[in-house]
Amino acid sequence: MKYYSTNNKNQFVSFETAVMQGLAEDGGLFMPEYFPSMDSNFIESLEKYSFQEIAFRISEKFIEDEISESNLSDIISNSITFPAPLILIGEKLYVLELFHGPTLAFKDFGARFMAKTMGYFVAKRSIQLNILVATSGDTGSAVAYGFYDTPGINVFILYPKGKVSLIQEKQLTTLDKNITALEIDGTFDDCQRLVKTAFVDKELNKKLNLTSANSINISRLLPQAFYYFEAYKQIKDKKLHSIFSVPSGNLGNLTAGLIAKKIGLPIFKFIGAVNSNKVFAEFLRTGNFVPRSSIQTLSNAMDVGNPSNLVRIREMYSDILRDMQNDIYSESYDDIQTRQGIKEVYEKFNYIIDPHGSVGYLALRDYTRFSQEFNGIVLETAHPAKFKDVVEEELKINVEIPERLASCLNKEKRTVELSSKYEDLREYLMKFL
């Protein structure tokens, strides 16, 4: 399997190169040269396979012989170490809980798989790798914990000052060793712009051997497809059409779901649920993509005004709008509605949902009106304790903080403050390394 840049379909690289570079030299995102088909017998008998076995069967299609079966099996067994349970909360209404990893967010799946994969290639090459990653909340902590103390790899996490929750900030700023948190005076879009600019800076790349850990990196994206198969495996009545409502920001989670569909998973419809940052919903309605500065919301991991993975979605559908519309619906919800959703889910189903999951629930509710003809699956991308203040304010209850989250709250914050100017980031990296 080879990979090409979305900016140039005529030049191909290996999976290893795509992973280690993160972003193509021309600034494009890597895409597989084709989407392999999963055997229909495999999909029809998913119940027979463990989560790890499903992950192995999918990943080997995209990696082939670049990683041996035994090494790939080790990567998966050391990264997919926690479940993705599908919880039935109402009549044919499910919540896919993706917060059972070390940082209580769905991004643990991708970050850990990517860390183990990159660690394998770094050891193979005997090199030093430097990772730049922009975060609007949960990505930073997932990457930090996934790569912590990995030999040969340094990680620099760029996050927007004052625009992540206290708990999220504590998670991504309290590690030492090979993890450095860079507090950027700007928005997530500024952080993402800085990272992208660094990747196309040839002199910097040559000296520092840079790569990315955002969902622009194919090894972060691929493992997110695993849990769509794991979710489908757990659906009770597979005769009904299944609709997945995906809280969406940079569109990596949605893109992974579309990959799962492309390779054979029978998903009827995706809902790209967005908050007040609604450029994707507007694009699907009009066909015009108009990026803009992000707006700060309660569902901060979705605060993206220029989603990177849209270029991948458009590539997958040959930029044919009607085909995208056939598979994807999108709607936006503001903070007032998000709060109402948290309250509604608790009162109707006795389930505590976080702000991101609330947006996903609202979009599913409004699209299906809970029709009995569908299985509705809401992706719950973060534990509600990560947004304790908002959830408790709405529900008037105490949300218990899991120990692995509480343990970081009393640790010392370690950050380097930088402006949103690329020159300042470049100067810092050159001096640091």
Please give the pLDDT value at position 433: 74
Gyration radius of the chain's alpha carbons: 20
CA 313/CA 187 separation, integer angstroms: 24
CA 225/CA 256 separation, integer angstroms: 5
Give the mean pLDDT of 270-281: 98
CA 6/CA 139 separation, integer angstroms: 23
CA 404/CA 411 separation, integer angstroms: 12
Model confidence band, residue 132 (pLDDT cutoffs 50, 70, 90): very high
Give tens-digit pLDDT for 193-211. Answer: 999 899 889 899 888 988 8
Which of 271, 260, 180 is CA-nearest to residue 223? 260
Give tens-digit pLDDT for 372-430. Answer: 789 999 999 999 999 999 999 999 999 999 998 888 888 999 999 999 999 999 999 99
Domains detected in the chain: 84-106+221-404 (3.40.50.1100)
The answer to whether 114 and 146 have CB atoms below 8 angstroms apart is: yes
Backbone angles phi, psi at 266, to 5 degrees: -80, 75
Structure tokens of 108? Answer: 């643990």
Give tens-digit pLDDT for 57-85. Answer: 999 999 999 999 999 999 999 999 999 99
Structure tokens of 310? Answer: 């849209």
| pLDDT at 9 exceeding the cut of 70 | yes
Identify the active-site residue in 9, 61, 107, 196. 107
CA 4/CA 34 separation, integer angstroms: 10
The length of the chain in residues reads 433
Is 107 an annotated catalytic residue?
Answer: yes
pTM over 0.85: yes
Give tens-digit pLDDT for 337-359. Answer: 999 999 999 999 999 999 999 99
Other Cβ atoms closer than 10 A to 237:
8
**DSSP sequence for 210-263:** EEE-STTSHHHHGGGGHHHHHHHHH-S-TTSEEEEEEE-SSSHHHHHHHHHHHT
| pLDDT at 137 exceeding the cut of 90 | no
Name 272's bridge partners. Answer: 246, 330
| pLDDT at 230 exceeding the cut of 80 | yes
CA 253/CA 96 separation, integer angstroms: 13
Give tens-digit pLDDT for 327-336. Answer: 999 999 999 9
| pLDDT at 431 exceeding the cut of 70 | yes
Model confidence band, residue 371 (pLDDT cutoffs 50, 70, 90): low
Please give the pLDDT value at position 324: 98
| pLDDT at 28 exceeding the cut of 80 | yes
Model confidence band, residue 190 (pLDDT cutoffs 50, 70, 90): very high
The answer to whether 195 and 94 have CB atoms below 8 angstroms apart is: no
